[in-house]
Amino acid sequence: MSKRSNIKKITRQSKIMRFMRLSRSVSQERAALMIGCSESAIGHYETGRMDISELRLKQFLKTYRYGKDDFDEYMNGRPIPISLKDECVGLLNKLDETKLKAVHSVLLGFTA
């Protein structure tokens, strides 16, 4: 296992691991308890700061109730569903300050 805790390298594998956890409504804390690692390790796996060994991958799949075939399908191009909230955050991160102010005004209108 390789650790590069100061460098994020979001990979397809890390995206799949995050999706699988969230699709089963498992918190990082709960996943860590079930797998037997730290909560920060779960975060590191999901942000690409740590590589996932084959043994750890098997633990993740068992914990999240997915098969290796499911994982392989996602690795081979099956679209990885993302939450609407995550997609919105991704879009917001791409906006410049002027556009972000406009979006902010719209969002405030929804929360009032």
What confidence score (pLDDT) does residue 101 get?
A: 92
Contacts of 2 (CB under 8 A, 6+ apart): 50, 51
Give the C-alpha separation, 16 to 3, whole Å.
Answer: 19
What are the pLDDT tens digits along the chain (112 aa)? Answer: 555 556 778 899 999 999 999 899 999 999 999 999 999 999 999 998 999 999 999 999 999 999 999 999 999 999 998 777 777 887 888 889 999 999 999 989 988 7
CATH architecture of the domain 1-80 equals: Orthogonal Bundle (1.10)
Give the C-alpha separation, 83 to 18, whole Å.
Answer: 11
Give the C-alpha separation, 21 to 60, whole Å.
Answer: 8
What confidence score (pLDDT) does residue 26 get?
A: 94
Q: How do the domains of the chain map onto residue ranges?
A: 1-80, 82-112
Full-model pTM: 0.70
In 1-112 the beta strands, taken as DSSP E runs, fall at none
What confidence score (pLDDT) does residue 89 get?
A: 81
Decide if 64 contacts 26 (C-beta within 8 A): yes
